Amino acid sequence: MLDFFSSIHLNDFQLDSSNITQLDERTLVVKKWNWDYSLAHQFQRKTMELLDLAPQTRIIICCSHPRTFTHGRGLQKPRKGESLDLREFDPQIISSLPFPFHQIERGGGLTFHHPGQLIIYPILKLNPKTLSLSKMINSLFDVAIEELRDWGLEGLSHENKLLGLWYGEKKLASMGVAIEKLTTFHGMALNFYQDPEMKSALMKVNPCGLEANTYISVEEILNLRDKSLNDFSVLYLRRLAHAWK
């Protein structure tokens, strides 16, 4: 499986073979910390092309990004009879944002990335019998809940009318997925460490239509002394592979 990417030049994406590991018999992990967002996005697209030739393969991109904003196809729509009270992003302020802005294909409104986030981008072919979209999304959240519970963080849930991973009224992770020809890309952003500069920038953009102070990080709830983002990612990915068997 490790020759899956042999037809592309990894260095075009600031990658080499050390960034790629095999998780199980059909799953490869591509891991890159503080990865330029545009390169990561291009790599997702290239991986989707390769998956057309090997549809049973699953690629999990595990990364973080420099500070950046992304904007999807639009805010979550309310179900019949409910109100979400979300604030639309004003595109007129794009030029005044302190970090790069990317308009992208995923669902959802404006969100943010920074080096203290854990990003999981599953690139895989959906199958209604084995791994549907809802099961994939739920498992990304459920595995985070299970792993963080082992670290001592209780009370997380994704059973909320607003998509995300929630700690009471605070949002710990966002989800935005795109699908083309049954292949998923984009994914989950889990706020692991605090980022004061990003927090300050969020005050005027209402990420996902919410007030900036709705967002929280694992670091604000748990003592993460001697714990790294990579430590968490190794355990998270191991659980995820088991959940998808």
SS3 185: strand
Per-residue pLDDT tens over the stretch 190-236: 999 999 999 999 998 999 999 999 999 999 999 998 889 999 999 99
Average pLDDT over residues 125-146: 94
Residue 208 is among the residues annotated as catalytic for this protein: yes
Considering the entire predicted model, what is its pTM?
A: 0.96
What pLDDT score was predicted for residue 78?
79
What pLDDT score was predicted for residue 160?
87
Q: Which domains does the chain possess? A: 10-243 (3.30.930.10)
81 confidence band (pLDDT: 50, 70, 90):
low
DSSP 109-164: EEEEE-TTEEEEEEE-B-BTTTB-HHHHHHHHHHHHHHHHHHTT---EE--SSSSS
- Residue appearing with tokens 């549809």: 55
CB 136 within 8 A of CB 126: yes
Average pLDDT over residues 55-61: 96
Q: By C-alpha distance, which of 140, 173, 152 is closest to 240?
A: 140
User: 208, 218, 229, 237: which is the annotated catalytic residue?
Assistant: 208
Average pLDDT over residues 89-106: 95
pLDDT more than 70, % of the chain: 99
Average pLDDT over residues 172-182: 96
